[in-house]
Amino acid sequence: MLLGNILAYAANRPDLPHFFEVEPGFYRGAQPKDHQFAMLAQMGVRTVISLRSTGDRMERERKLVESSG
């Protein structure tokens, strides 16, 4: 099976670690710190998908994302 490569372009955001724009309006990056969820909301990000396991940390982050807008 041949898997294609996805090109990602560095978004000019040195304040967000490993933050890239995969295609217009679709980003990927490292785990944001608590205060960075508000930055993402200000950029117009409306959905955050976490690949971490469930638990107390996930619930805390869900609340942070929702309160950030």
Q: How far, in whole angstroms, is CA 66 from its chain's centroid?
A: 14
Task: Let me know if residue 40 belongs to a domain.
Answer: yes
Task: Let me know if residue 53 belongs to a domain.
Answer: yes
How many domains are contained in the chain? 1
Task: Let me know if residue 2 belongs to a domain.
Answer: no
Per the structure, the complete domain to which residue 57 belongs is given by 9-68
pTM score, two decimals? 0.67
pLDDT at 10: 62
Question: In 3D, which of 27, 19, 32, 26 has the Cα closest to residue 64?
Answer: 32
Task: Let me know if residue 1 belongs to a domain.
Answer: no
Task: Let me know if residue 59 belongs to a domain.
Answer: yes
Task: Let me know if residue 31 belongs to a domain.
Answer: yes
pLDDT in tens, the chain (69 residues): 444 444 555 666 778 878 888 888 888 888 888 888 888 888 888 888 888 766 777 788 888 888 887
Task: Let me know if residue 4 belongs to a domain.
Answer: no
Task: Let me know if residue 32 belongs to a domain.
Answer: yes
